[in-house]
């Protein structure tokens, strides 16, 4: 039986989750520099639709999309993807 999975490497998903939980605004450019990934939009889509994360998006210069968690998000109630489960006990969520 096939397992549903992201089309991004687990380390990239972990990076995106950790960055969002830390209160950062992230973009694909930041993702490329920090984690050598390039599928942030796909990761964000999946976090929103499959895991219910309240991720906001704003457009910057050159139509760059910046993603962040909604300010009133209760981080302790977020469902984490399997590759980011280690963040559950992390100080990032507090």
From 66, 54, 50, select the one nearest 21 (Cα to Cα): 54
Token pair of 5 as six digits:
């999975």
Token pair of 68 as six digits:
């962040």
Class of the CATH domain delimited by 10-75: mainly alpha
Query: Does the model's pTM come out above 0.75?
Result: yes
Query: For 33-92, what is each residue's pLDDT tens digit?
Result: 999 888 999 999 999 999 999 999 999 998 999 999 999 999 999 999 998 888 886 644
Provide the 10 A C-beta neighbour count for residue 9.
Answer: 14
For the chain, which residues make up each domain, given as ranges? 10-75
């Amino acid at each position: 039986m096939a397992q549903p999975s992201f089309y991004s490497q687990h380390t990239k998903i972990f990076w995106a989750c950790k960055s969002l939980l830390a209160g950062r605004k992230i973009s694909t450019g930041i993702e490329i520099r920090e984690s050598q990934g390039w599928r942030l939009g796909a990761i964000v889509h999946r976090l929103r639709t499959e895991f219910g994360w309240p991720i906001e998006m704003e457009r910057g210069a050159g139509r760059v999309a910046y993603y962040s968690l909604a300010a009133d998000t209760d981080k302790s109630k977020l469902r984490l993807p399997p590759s980011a489960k280690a963040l559950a006990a992390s100080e990032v969520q507090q």
